[in-house]
Chain A
Amino acid sequence: AAGVIQSPRHLIKEKRETATLKCYPIPRHDTVYWYQQGPGQDPQFLISFYEKMQSDKGSIPDRFSAQQFSDYHSELNMSSLELGDSALYFCASSFSSGSTEAFFGQGTRLTVV
């Protein structure tokens, strides 16, 4: 069965650069979530989208933005990268109607040097 696809799997950027992470949800899933997991930390919710509209917002820095496109894939744009942005970024997707479970991608490991 198709899973949540994230690209790239690994990304190395320098301070003050920008990065774009992509997430392709499971087919027919209409909700996408982004989480950030710092080294040795638990995943922290950043933002979610339902039907291309932002549905919830967590601890996402102002330097980050995200959107969901008409094909339901989502992109997380990160600007003015800082060393502290180095983390594993997870995307998850679910089908909103009656869904109880979100399925996670393998994550994108971002390293800022």
Chain B
Amino acid sequence: AQSVTQLDSQVPVFEEAPVELRCNYSSSVSVYLFWYVQYPNQGLQLLLKYLSGSTLVESINGFEAEFNKSQTSFHLRKPSVHISDTAEYFCAVRIIQGAQKLVFGQGTRLTINP
């Protein structure tokens, strides 16, 4: 079975400061890795994903995540956050072969203070 651990339930940061949201996973088989963002009263939106190839993946709004196989991590980072980044962020995995269901982490609430 797969599991995902997001080490921080809440992360408050000031606007324009850098941020890192941590994600570790456990799986006995190869997985795809995802970050989803959930704005208040909204659905889940895919932020970025790692499938294969370059271990550093980027989103269009300045977020990036790096897959580290040895540490089984997929931390999300942004060098300078904006008020509009306030949201809940979920790390998720799914196995490459077989069932396509996603297993989510507990979520990290990112709060940006002016």
A residues adjacent to B (C-beta < 8 A):
31, 33, 35, 41-45, 48, 55-56, 58, 90, 92, 94, 96, 99-107
Contact = CB atoms under 8 A, between A and B. Distances in A.
B99 A56 contact: yes
B7 interface: no
Given A42-B90, A90-B43, A102 B105 contact: no
Contacts of B36: 104
A92 B99 CA distance: 14
B90 A43 contact: yes
A48 B101 contact: yes
Contacts of B46: 101, 103
B44 A99 contact: no
Contacts of A33: 100-102
B106 interface: yes
B103 interface: yes
Interface residues of B, number: 20
B14 to A, nearest CB: 24
A68 to B, nearest CB: 14
A55 B49 contact: no
Given A55-B99, A56-B99, A104 B107 contact: no
Nearest to B45: A104
Nearest to B99: A56
Given A42-B90, A101-B49, A107 B99 contact: no
B25 interface: no
B51 interface: yes
Contacts of A58: 101
Contact of A43 (B32, B44, B51, B100): B44
B107 A45 contact: no
B5 to A, nearest CB: 11
B42 interface: yes
